[in-house]
Chains A and B, each alone.
Chain A
Amino acid sequence: MSGVGPVEPGEGTHVQDAPPAPLPQRGPLAGHFERHRRVVLGALITSAVLAGSGYLYVTRPRPEPPPAPPYPNQVTDIAYLRPGTTSSNTASRGFTFEVEVITESGPPVTVTRISQPYAGLSVTSSPRTPFRTKAGSPRKITVTLRVTECGNVPRNAGLPFLDVTLRNTRAIQVHSFILGPQYAQDLSRALQVACSNKFG
């Protein structure tokens, strides 16, 4: 009948009193919802707000994380300055020299160890390791090599180097610093003197 319109009521017809509409038949769940509507709605809204803000939080325009500090061997430089002057005691049995430790940028670098690879020499430094160098403030370090055994000393090394353990917040690294021809010359001269004195 739909679409046709209401049939005109005939004679003697009248609108019956509608019986009271029965309560809609719903399941027990719906009843439950009916009873706890506020709580459920509240929970829904809360979770929607949480999800939304979570999404916003995750996708928020974030400031770039601060770049990791550079590796210490990339910002540290050690330059040979000159042979040092120390007590004649050490001078006769070794070689003292000054170097400058420079940290170019980034967080401070700690020098945790200075060594050198030759078997017949031992190393001490002043100040003693570990010490820190900050970017922009170079430190002068006095390094003393002591001859322990003349047989194992490089009397004529062309490019001797120092092995330095460097540490900053990024990493710990052992790096070799080849201090150049002047260092090589001064070193071999000093070692030749040291070792000839010992036997002479």
Chain B
Amino acid sequence: MRQRSLIAITAALAAGALTLTACGSRDEDGGGSSDSGNGGTTVVIGVDAPLTGDLSALGLGIKNSVDLAAKTANKEKFVEGVTFKIEALDDQAQPSSGQQNASTLVADKDVLGVVGPLNSSVAESMQRVFNDAKLVQVSPANTGPSLSQGQDWQTSKKRPYESYFRTSTTDAIQGPFAAQYLYNDSKKRKVFVIDDKKTYGAGLAGTFTAEFKKLGGKVVGTEHINPDAKDFSAVATKVKSSGADVVYYGGEYPQAGPLSKQIKAAGSKVPLVGGDGIYDPTFISLAGKGSDGDLATSVGVPLDQLDSAKKFTADYKAAGYKEDFAAYGGYSYDAAWSIIEAVKKVVDANDGKLPDDARAKVVEAMSGVSFDGVTGKVSYDEFGDTTNKQLTVYAVKNGAWEPVKSGTYTG
């Protein structure tokens, strides 16, 4: 009998392990970014993003852009007597790693602000840790509305964490914007909605679906995929037989790319549409040639339309980073810079020295921050959301993302 129970144990182990797909490792090349010859105090800006794994293209862009902001501040001696350093931790897009990283950053007394994370689900696990430590957190990429406006944001907005800020527009605008574009501009009427059940994906699909239905569109099918899976052929077949004329996907490009490819391969030539999570060149390379015509909404307007972004683009190039700054580069730079601005305010108000309760003071100073950043005017509203609410629809044309239409939320 020993053998049979061994099989039973290992089968149980296997079933358990299926849910534990994380494998811990950490990228150590974070810090040491700045010339420490500036003297005086060192202020560390933490970075938390997926630096390895499927989403690393976005994560490394975030890390490099924050690094660039720190270096720029040091070079300009923006805050007299303060040298900025970054400490980048890898969360592998896993909430558990994110929370560990948050604790690590809180424990480092030099950390006065954190940029990140990429994923809304990771942010949920970090917010309380940072809030308890009164450590400011600015996400360049989280779009889940509940992060800043509470679980009941649709009915009564209430800010859950005073230390949480973000430079990206929320899904409360992004989803409906996509719905409006698809219904009115693309004249789509039958949508098949797919999400990955994560905070970001499910939330985005939800706001999209609500608006698309209000406009008179029809949801001909819904599906939730498993983010660990690579085989979506069964889902693709369902899409084909549903007769949908467009697919909306709430999730990120590692799944969206293969999904788009497999949907087209199954013989249904309808565009796949997603949010900022699929707006990355990797999506196109994963989705292959069939992805022409796929759409994505993303936060902000194209960086090449912003004069403020020209300097950023040139500096980023000059700094010689290996990786592209990707979808959130400008937002990450602005997120880091708003922390730098807040530190400057705190230092200036305290006779050029960091006060003892610097963290709490920085959180307070954040709400008053206002400057012309890479992505336009940067300031935060009473929920910690950016006041610059712009969105752009991009389409895949000849293997690259091309802007199609931009919008501003002025409500």
Write out, one digit per residue, whether chain A residues 45-74 have a CB within 8 A of any chain B CB (1) or not (0): 000000000000000000000011011011
Contact of A71 among B173, B176, B305 (CB under 8 A): B305
State in angstroms the CA–CA spacing of A183 and B407 once bound together: 16
Contact, CB under 8 Å: A179 / B406: no
* Set of chain A residues within 8 Å of B305, measured between Cβ atoms: 71, 73-74
B154 CB to closest chain A CB (Å) equals: 10
Contact of B410 among A154, A160, A177 (CB under 8 A): A177
Contact of B411 among A118, A157, A181 (CB under 8 A): A181
B214 adjacent to chain A (CB < 8 Å): yes
B372-411 at interface with A (beta carbon < 8 Å)? 376, 405-411
* Set of chain A residues within 8 Å of B130, measured between Cβ atoms: none
* Set of chain A residues within 8 Å of B406, measured between Cβ atoms: 73, 173, 175-176
A73-B305, A159-B176 are contacts. A175–B214 as well, Cβ < 8 Å? no
State in angstroms the CA–CA spacing of A70 and B310 once bound together: 12
Contact, CB under 8 Å: B301 / A78: no
* Set of chain A residues within 8 Å of B184, measured between Cβ atoms: 117-119
* Set of chain B residues within 8 Å of A179, measured between Cβ atoms: 410-411
Contact, CB under 8 Å: A158 / B409: no
B282 adjacent to chain A (CB < 8 Å): no
Contact, CB under 8 Å: B407 / A178: yes
* Set of chain A residues within 8 Å of B301, measured between Cβ atoms: 71, 73-74
A175-B407, A179-B410, A179-B411 are contacts. A157–B180 as well, Cβ < 8 Å? yes
Contact of A74 among B215, B376, B405, B409 (CB under 8 A): B376
A141 adjacent to chain B (CB < 8 Å): no
Q: Give the size range of A's interface with the partner.
A: 20 to 34
* Set of chain A residues within 8 Å of B265, measured between Cβ atoms: none
* Set of chain B residues within 8 Å of A80, measured between Cβ atoms: 410-411
Closest residue to B214 on the A side, CB-wise? A156
Contact of A157 among B173, B215, B407, B409 (CB under 8 A): B215
A172 adjacent to chain B (CB < 8 Å): no
* Set of chain B residues within 8 Å of A73, measured between Cβ atoms: 301, 305, 406, 408
Contact, CB under 8 Å: B408 / A158: no
* Set of chain A residues within 8 Å of B22, measured between Cβ atoms: none
Contact, CB under 8 Å: B410 / A78: yes
A100 CB to closest chain B CB (Å) equals: 10
A80-B411, A178-B410 are contacts. A71–B306 as well, Cβ < 8 Å? yes
Across chains A and B, which 3 residue pairs bring their CB atoms closest together, nearest first?
A180-B411, A117-B184, A176-B407
Given A74-B306, A74-B376, A179-B410, 9 further pairs, Cβ under 8 A:
A71-B305, A118-B184, A119-B184, A157-B215, A159-B176, A161-B180, A161-B407, A174-B405, A175-B407
The 20 sampled A-B contact pairs (Cβ below 8 Å) are: A71-B305, A73-B305, A73-B408, A74-B306, A78-B410, A117-B184, A154-B215, A154-B216, A157-B214, A158-B176, A158-B214, A159-B411, A174-B405, A175-B408, A176-B180, A176-B406, A177-B407, A178-B173, A178-B177, A180-B409
Chain A interface residues toward B at CB < 8 A: 67-68, 70-71, 73-74, 77-80, 117-119, 152, 154, 156-161, 173-183
Chain B interface residues toward A at CB < 8 A: 173, 176-177, 180, 184-185, 210-211, 214-216, 301, 305-307, 376, 405-411
